[in-house]
């Protein structure tokens, strides 16, 4: 029988889940229902994240969702510029999307 994965209390109450990247701690919060139509309409790329960085339009979409749902240790919203300064790699970007979708259900 497959093991069922249960959402954490932090996810259920919307405070988010901790995540460590490049030695720093972050919080990924679950997607809010009110944002779902916009999120779906943006047609976010969940595949190779290199393609999220090619055009200004794709970068803007990434920044928008990252700044709404990913926060640093101080509770400040993250963005691509900060992630670059903190030496994130492309795999970290892909993991952000996977975590956001996973905890959002």
Taking the C-alpha atoms of residue 38 and residue 60, their distance in angstroms, rounded to an integer, is 14
Over 70: is that where the pLDDT of 71 sits?
Answer: yes
Q: What is the pTM (predicted TM-score) of this model?
A: 0.81
Tell which wins on pLDDT, 91 or 68: 68
**Euclidean distance between CA atoms 18 and 27, whole angstroms:** 5
Which sign, positive or negative, has the C-alpha torsion 87, 90, 95, 101?
positive
C-alpha of 105 from chain center: 13
Chain segment 10-68, per-residue pLDDT in tens? 545 567 999 999 999 999 999 999 999 998 898 877 666 666 677 888 889 889 999 99
**pLDDT number for residue 58:** 84
For the chain, domains (ranges, CATH) are: 15-104 (3.30.2220)
């Amino acid at each position: 029988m497959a093991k069922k994965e249960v959402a954490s209390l932090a996810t259920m109450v919307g405070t988010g889940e901790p995540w460590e990247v490049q030695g720093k701690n972050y919080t990924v919060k679950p997607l809010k229902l009110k944002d779902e139509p916009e999120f779906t309409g943006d047609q976010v790329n969940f595949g190779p994240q290199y393609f999220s960085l090619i055009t200004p339009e794709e970068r803007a979409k990434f920044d928008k969702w990252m700044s709404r749902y990913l926060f640093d240790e101080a509770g400040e919203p993250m963005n691509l510029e900060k992630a670059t300064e903190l030496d994130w790699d492309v795999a970290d970007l892909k993991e952000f999307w996977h975590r956001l979708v996973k905890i959002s259900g």
